[in-house]
Structure 1
Amino acid sequence: MRNHSRRAALAAGVALLTAFAAAALAAPASAASTGGGSFVYTVHPLSKFMSASAPAAFPTPSQCVAAYGIACYTPAEIRTAYDIPADYTGAGTSIVIVDAYGSPTIQSDLATFSAAFGLPYDSGTLHVYYPGGKPPTLTAHASVPLGWAGETTLDVEWAHAIAPEATINLVVAANPGGNVLDNAVQWAVAHNLGDVLSMSYGVDEAYIKGNNANNAQVNQATQIFSSAVGKGMAVFASSGDGGATDGFSVTNAGYPASDPNVIAVGGTNLFTDDAGNYQSETVWNDGDPAQCPFGCTDGAFGATGGAPSKLFAASTFQGAVSGLTARTTSDVSYNASVYTSVLVYAGFYPNPADNGFYFYGGTSSGSPQWAAIGALAKAAGVSLADLNAKLYGAAAAHPAAFHDVTVGSNNFNGPGYSAKSGYDIPTGLGSPDVAKLVSALQ
């Protein structure tokens, strides 16, 4: 998905991510397809520089607000906020993360991140696969690969933060072409690489609807996702960072999150105390001053996606709570705002001065963390077969398994949808209380 971010006083590396986002925003519809009839997936990691090295002690959320205008969260604080017990580690499970280009420093960056936050790490924590061959070396002018390096880093580090003893299998596609990334997913599924799979990328359905070649690509991808679900794998994708329209004049769901085989993850603003104890959540939407937290001092980074699909019908279990015949994103939600960000170590920049700890946000942060929660559930004995249907069932039978987000909307630079009690389009069933959710699924 394209992001709509504005940043102030950022490191040069983050400016490159911004340049990529702006290029995606400005691209006409024809730019979203390639010569082979395949669309191109894009990523939307949103970030702001914090420090070149780990401080003696990371600031608390309120200290971050005072210093940066942002409430930053460590792994321990996010685990506390979403009620992840200390003995929920994901041991014996595996998480598949699929990205294009990857990051040349992902192993060392994960080691640095793990050391900074007291997480386990060894040579078996992360395995990297290149089914289409290794991508070229990053350069300072390679804005698109740098954006994907940021996405890869966010995905891997925060899947590890939530399920620190799960094995992470990173599958790197040679480029972000739709068929290339879909083939990477197919390769991971065919090789049974994981219990869960995360895709923190997407393309607007507006680029697909009515294009026969792109619809053929979607049909192929749907078969891949269906095969994954048929094997008992849970598949997650981010709902997008451009609100309900993502820059179009009408509401517009993001794909592959809109595929009914995929669990679509929307975004929130998460508020905690300084120990990480959960206080509240609202719909992530920086475009509305009434919704953007802490004065929105760096401007509007984005807003959660979420809209009815133009390609897919609602499943029976979703239609029963949405009241719509169209498939809707989101199914669930998770902290996503840069203003309530997670901390990430990025060491992949060609200019070493740009490397360090960053505040990261976007719904692409939620997809790998929800996948890791799936791994936690698997380790606790939960079958992940048809997990999306089970999540809707758990929400109905055990409402306390989710934090019901009822405040805010995703009308970012256009029309949108409001949160309400129960299921809603921006935040789905809500965000997880992991201990209660796993119990409800057992």
Structure 2
Amino acid sequence: MKRSSFFSVSLAIAGAAALAVAVTAPASAATPSAATPDTSGVYSVHPIVEKAGLSTSAVTPSLTPAQCLAQTAGRVACQTPDSIRAAYDIPATINGVPAGTGQTVVIVDAFGSPTVQSDLAAFSGAFGLPTPNLTVYYPGGKPTWTGKKTQTGWAEETSLDVQWAHAVAPGANIALVVAANDRGATIDNAIKYAVDNKLGNVLSMSFGEADNLIKSPNANNGQTAQGVKALAQGAAQGMSLFASSGDSGSDNGAGFANYAFPASDLNVTSVGGTNLWAGSGLNQPRETVWGDFANCPLTCAFGVVGETGGAPSLFTSKQGSDVAYNASVYTGVLTYLGFLGGANNGLYFFGGTSAGSPQWAALTADTIQAVGHTVGNVGQQAQSWASKGLLYDVTVGSNTTPTFSGGYSATAGWDRPTGWGTPDVNGIIAALK
């Protein structure tokens, strides 16, 4: 799940409602290169980031995808907390208090962000959310911020994770567990810390390593085996565990069906990606598979920036995604970054399945608050929920890549790119009460 190139998008503001967009995009989309074995055991993140050029004072909570689409000359049908709540029927309050109250959403990332607290406050203020309660843990020591190498990508991921967990569960506490680096063993230790201390009932992991880059968890692979053990312990404690399915299609550039860990772990609910067209005003299905290679949407202004993972695991019986959520940058969520400096600070369009994992964790926290008990492994319950109409069935699109024509298409019922579908949160709550 290699991080995408950064394409600059400049938006000029004329009041809070009118936007004009100028896009600088690559001449041609990059084709994934064949993966080579990685013996270092490094987890990677893949936040897909396009600059919106918006100040927090230039947006309103009521900004709709259709308005965003019109204001960006048909390029982006962006999402705000209000539009995501409307699309997935997520309650803003439960029993008269903000949704998620009394719960904690646990997020594991590496390196963290030097401005995570102030960025979350800026995001909350821009979209009218309650004051957040974020606690940051450094079980391996606080890393030194340099902004070099992979740190910027992880900082972007951290911003996305905490802000959108707060957007979906505005009353919940957020426990951000920051690993000192992105080595697999270090991040697995951070997961173990979160599980050993049971910091919350839900845990999100927006990172991964392609199956072909790791040895079988059952072989001589201490790093992955350590992660598997921690995840099994978390599941045994009743925690709901979520991970993103990946952003490089059905093969991660390897040329054959290729999934990723920890999404491939049987104790983890793997979250695939969609294009969310609800509220855009376009004559589209409500949602389609996020698959830019198969069908780059709208004007394809940023080029092909990725597509959802979802394939049979090389090591477990997991066959792909369990559920799905909005992931396309062309229907991307607005997220605030304040560590880039000067005019580079501001709101950005974010995509990637890493956006779906923290939001599924947060909506599960909402559900736990509402029903009064934990719900365990969501992936194992998804088929039952789908049979009751509690998940939207995505049936259009595929995650085929240029390096693997044997990718997978959405079908009625379960499919590898989007699992059993996307949530109707109030419906799930009503069914579980």
Provide the TM-score with structure 1 as the length reference.
Answer: 0.86
Q: Deviations over 1:8-39 (max 9, x none)?
A: 5479xxxxxx9xxx9x9669634x332xxxx1
Matches within 5 A, 1:267-282: 267-273=273-279, 280-282=286-288
Q: Deviations over 1:366-396 (max 9, x none)?
A: 0000000110111012422333322332223
Contact 2:296–2:303 (8 Å) recurs in 1: no
Partner of 2:299, secondary structure, is helix
Query: Partner amino acid for 1:60?
Result: T
Q: Deviations over 1:143-201 (max 9, x none)?
A: 31000000000000000000000000000000011110000000011111011000000
Matches within 5 A, 1:6-405: 7-9=7-9, 29-30=36-37, 32-34=38-40, 39-58=41-60, 59-68=63-72, 69-88=75-94, 89-122=99-132, 125-139=133-147, 142-209=148-215, 215-273=221-279, 280-288=286-294, 291-313=295-317, 327-349=318-340, 351-380=341-370, 381-396=372-387, 398=388, 400-405=389-394
Shift of residue 64, structure 1, vs aligned partner: 2.2
| Aligned mates of 1:388, 1:160 — CA distance in 2 | 22
Aligned to 2:22: none
Shift of residue 230, structure 1, vs aligned partner: 0.5
Distance change in 2, residues 1:95/1:305 (3 Å): same
Contact 2:106–2:177 (8 Å) recurs in 1: yes
Shift of residue 136, structure 1, vs aligned partner: 1.0
Provide the TM-score with structure 2 as the length reference.
Answer: 0.88
Query: Partner amino acid for 2:108?
Result: V
Aligned to 1:15: none
CA RMSD of aligned residues (A): 2.3
Contact 1:418–1:426 (8 Å) recurs in 2: yes
| Aligned mates of 2:10, 2:219 — CA distance in 1 | 40
Query: Partner amino acid for 1:41?
Result: Y
Q: Deviations over 1:194-231 (max 9, x none)?
A: 11000000000001146987633222211110100111
| Aligned mates of 2:316, 2:117 — CA distance in 1 | 38
* Percent identical: 50
Distance change in 2, residues 1:212/1:81 (3 Å): closer
Partner of 2:198, secondary structure, is coil
| Aligned mates of 1:275, 1:77 — CA distance in 2 | 13
Distance change in 2, residues 1:271/1:147 (3 Å): same
Contact 1:330–1:426 (8 Å) recurs in 2: yes
Partner of 2:418, secondary structure, is coil
Distance change in 2, residues 1:6/1:107 (3 Å): closer
Contact 2:241–2:377 (8 Å) recurs in 1: no
Return 5+ residue gaps in structure 2 as ranges. Answer: 12-25
Aligned to 2:18: none
Contact 1:3–1:301 (8 Å) recurs in 2: no
Shift of residue 138, structure 1, vs aligned partner: 2.9
Contact 1:3–1:302 (8 Å) recurs in 2: no
Contact 2:217–2:224 (8 Å) recurs in 1: no
Distance change in 2, residues 1:185/1:301 (3 Å): same
Return 5+ residue gaps in structure 1 as ranges. Answer: 12-17, 314-326
Query: Partner amino acid for 1:358?
Result: Y
Distance change in 2, residues 1:52/1:408 (3 Å): closer
**2:398 is the counterpart of 1:409:** yes
Query: Partner amino acid for 1:301?
Result: V
Shift of residue 418, structure 1, vs aligned partner: 0.6
Distance change in 2, residues 1:57/1:148 (3 Å): closer
Aligned to 2:19: none
| Aligned mates of 1:210, 1:221 — CA distance in 2 | 12
| Aligned mates of 1:61, 1:429 — CA distance in 2 | 24
Aligned to 1:316: none
Q: Deviations over 1:32-57 (max 9, x none)?
A: 332xxxx1000000011112512444
| Aligned mates of 1:44, 1:174 — CA distance in 2 | 18
Query: Partner amino acid for 2:427?
Result: K
Contact 1:7–1:301 (8 Å) recurs in 2: no
Shift of residue 292, structure 1, vs aligned partner: 2.3
Q: Deviations over 1:93-119 (max 9, x none)?
A: 011000000001100000000000000
Q: Deviations over 1:403-438 (max 9, x none)?
A: 000000000222310100000000000000111122
Partner of 1:95, secondary structure, is strand
Shift of residue 63, structure 1, vs aligned partner: 3.0
| Aligned mates of 1:336, 1:214 — CA distance in 2 | 34
Distance change in 2, residues 1:357/1:286 (3 Å): same
Query: Partner amino acid for 1:335?
Result: N
